[in-house]
Amino acid sequence: MTPEAKVKKQVRQILTELDMYYVMPATGGYGNSGAPDFICCLKGLFIGVECKAKGNKPTALQLKNLSDIKKSGGFSIVIDETNIDILRLELLEWLDMKQVN
């Protein structure tokens, strides 16, 4: 299993534990290039999660998609082995903040 696949497996476990709806879109010929690895929804809020192996950076197109999600009022984050442990906390804090507003 590649390092990125291990990150995706951990992200999938966290999203499942949070009872979050998610899909992993195909980005090949018929998909949207640059879309995050996970497109998620919880309590009506839109979330994009891009997974990387340690040291790898998102492409310019991936960064644009993540930025567009934030501009549209959603939450987006890049996760790798160094910050996987904060994903649950970041998601819950963002959801709490959005529920208050």
Mean residue pLDDT across the chain:
91
The pLDDT score that the predictor gives to residue 11 is 97
Which conformational region is residue 44 in: left (phi greater than 0), alpha (psi within -120 to 50 degrees), or beta?
left
For the record, the structure tokens of 96 come out as 């709490």
Instruction: Count Cβ atoms below 10 Å from residue 72 Cβ, excluding itself.
Output: 9
pTM of the predicted model over 0.85: yes
